[in-house]
């Protein structure tokens, strides 16, 4: 067991509309974790300039993600809500991690390969170094738990690799300065400065798939808007997208195992289960053997009743951008206090005067 105080950190990029995948895979979990943990939730604006430098309205997108956090039920008084660029120590620690991480580690990241495409030489250096900034986001607060969707798993493994290499490379200095925290690494009990963060990737919706292709992830960047349900969609749009969602011709299976090899059915059942907060077996017990023509309207009703209150509240919050900026400024100040304390120790460990 780690002896670091439990702390949750997670981030969302301010690029494109938030969709059902972001909501079920991440934001809803952020909300739930507030009951049991101290949490920091961050709109990671520095990450969003890695794939595309110029955005039409980056500041507006940052406010809009903040509004979504608040509308979903994140309490910015009890926890910390801020945007990344307000706390310059993210970039500072990322630089040090650029010197800890190896180029080979970065080259292996599937998200880098996907985003860079065939012309890797032409991708920004920031896109390659992205995971090192992500590790800095988390470790600046020495966060122990990170709720994310399945697509971030590899980045979190890399975060652990960076923490572990830093702890090893500087072990003598960490010990000499008395900055080590006892923790378990495999069979061994060691002292480290950074925790080995645990990803929290659980439940039936860790990877929500496209409504148009059950083998592709639901994504902000898919050119077809019919592939995703946006947090800002109204009831008619949600119902229409679910009605038009791709399915196979068979009725729903009678068992959960029967979903194997039927990606679209599996995805819709997973979405239903997550929205209803029920196990998939429960959903199959109710809808097994029934045709999609019966299942889809029930799913649409459920999606509308879960998302409509969030999108209504989001619009209300977005109508007062000055208030959103106040929330971010206050959150930024609180985050920065922790960040400065970490950087003071990191600098002492590395030997930066």
Q: Which of 43, 196, 218, 304 contacts ligand TYM by CB under 6 A?
A: 218
Task: For residue 193, count CB atoms less than 10 angstroms from its CB and return exposed for 0-12, middle for 13-18, buried for 19 or more.
Answer: buried
80 interacts with ligand TYM by CB under 6 A: no
Q: How far is the CB of 293 from ligand TYM (least distance, A)?
A: 25
Separation between Cα atoms, residue 306 and residue 115, nearest integer Å: 32
- Report the DSSP beta bridge partners of residue 39: 8
Q: What angle in degrees, to the nearest 10, is found between the helix axes of 89-100 and 321-350?
A: 40
Could you tell me which residues come within 8 angstroms of residue 15 by beta carbon, excluding any fewer than 6 positions away? 48, 51, 52, 55, 61, 220
246: annotated active-site residue: no
Which of the ranges 169-177, 202-210, 297-305, 321-329 carries the binding residues for ligand TYM, by CB under 6 A?
A: 202-210
Calculate ∠ Cα 76-77-81, nearest 5°.
Answer: 30
User: What is the C-alpha separation between 230 and 198, in angstroms, rounded?
Assistant: 29
Residues 63, 82, 100, 149: which binds ligand TYM (CB under 6 A)?
149
Task: Provide, rounded to whole angstroms, the least separation between the CB of residue 90 and ligand TYM.
Answer: 9
How many residues sit close enough to ligand TYM to count as binding (CB under 6 A)? Answer: 25
State the nearest-atom distance from the C-beta of 233 to ligand TYM, in Å. 16
User: By CB under 6 A, is residue 335 in contact with ligand TYM?
Assistant: no
Here the tokens at position 219 are 């994504």
Other Cβ atoms within 10 Å of 263 Cβ, number? 17
Radius of gyration of the chain (CA): 21
Active-site hit among 165, 173, 212, 220 = 220
- Range in contact with ligand TYM (rule: CB under 6 A) among 22-30, 50-58, 73-81, 102-110: 22-30
92's tokens: 């500072």
Binding window for ligand TYM (CB under 6 A); candidates: 151-159, 166-174, 235-243, 292-300: 151-159
Query: Is residue 208 close enough to count as binding ligand TYM by CB under 6 A?
Result: yes
Specify whether 244 is catalytic.
no
Judge whether 217 counts as a catalytic residue.
yes
Chain residues binding ligand TYM by CB under 6 A are 9-13, 21-22, 25-26, 44, 47, 134, 137-138, 146, 148-149, 151-152, 155, 206-208, 217-218
């Amino acid at each position: 067991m780690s002896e670091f105080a439990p702390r949750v950190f997670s981030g969302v990029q301010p690029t494109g509309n938030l969709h059902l995948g972001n909501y079920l895979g991440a934001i809803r979990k952020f909300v739930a974790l507030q009951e049991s943990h101290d949490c920091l939730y961050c709109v990671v604006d520095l990450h969003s300039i890695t794939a595309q430098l110029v955005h039409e309205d980056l500041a507006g997108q940052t406010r809009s993600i903040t509004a979504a956090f608040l509308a979903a039920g994140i309490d910015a008084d009890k926890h910390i809500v801020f945007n990344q660029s307000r706390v310059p120590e993210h970039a500072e620690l990322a630089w040090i991690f650029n010197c800890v991480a190896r180029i080979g580690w970065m080259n292996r990241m599937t998200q880098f390969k996907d985003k860079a495409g065939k012309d890797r030489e032409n991708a920004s250096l920031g896109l390659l170094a992205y995971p090192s900034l992500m590790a800095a986001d988390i470790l600046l607060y020495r966060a122990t738990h990170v709720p994310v969707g399945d697509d971030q798993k590899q980045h979190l493994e890399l975060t652990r690799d960076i923490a572990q290499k830093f702890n090893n490379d500087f072990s003598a200095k960490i010990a000499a300065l008395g900055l080590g925290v006892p923790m378990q690494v495999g069979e061994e009990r060691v002292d480290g400065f950074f925790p080995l963060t645990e990803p929290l990737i659980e439940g039936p919706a860790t990877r929500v798939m496209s409504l148009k292709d059950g083998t592709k992830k639901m994504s902000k960047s898919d050119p077809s808007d019919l592939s995703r349900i946006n947090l800002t969609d109204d009831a008619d749009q949600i119902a229409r997208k679910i009605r038009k969602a791709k399915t196979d011709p068979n009725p729903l299976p009678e068992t959960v195992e029967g979903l194997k090899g039927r990606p679209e059915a599996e995805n819709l059942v997973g979405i239903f289960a997550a929205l209803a907060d029920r196990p998939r077996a429960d959903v199959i017990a109710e809808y097994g053997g029934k045709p999609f023509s019966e299942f889809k309207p029930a799913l649409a009703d459920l999606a509308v009743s879960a998302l409509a209150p969030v999108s209504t509240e989001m619009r209300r919050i977005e109508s007062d951008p000055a208030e959103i900026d106040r929330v971010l400024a206050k959150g930024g100040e609180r985050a920065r206090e922790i960040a400065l304390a970490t950087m003071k120790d990191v600098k002492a460990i590395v030997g930066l005067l």
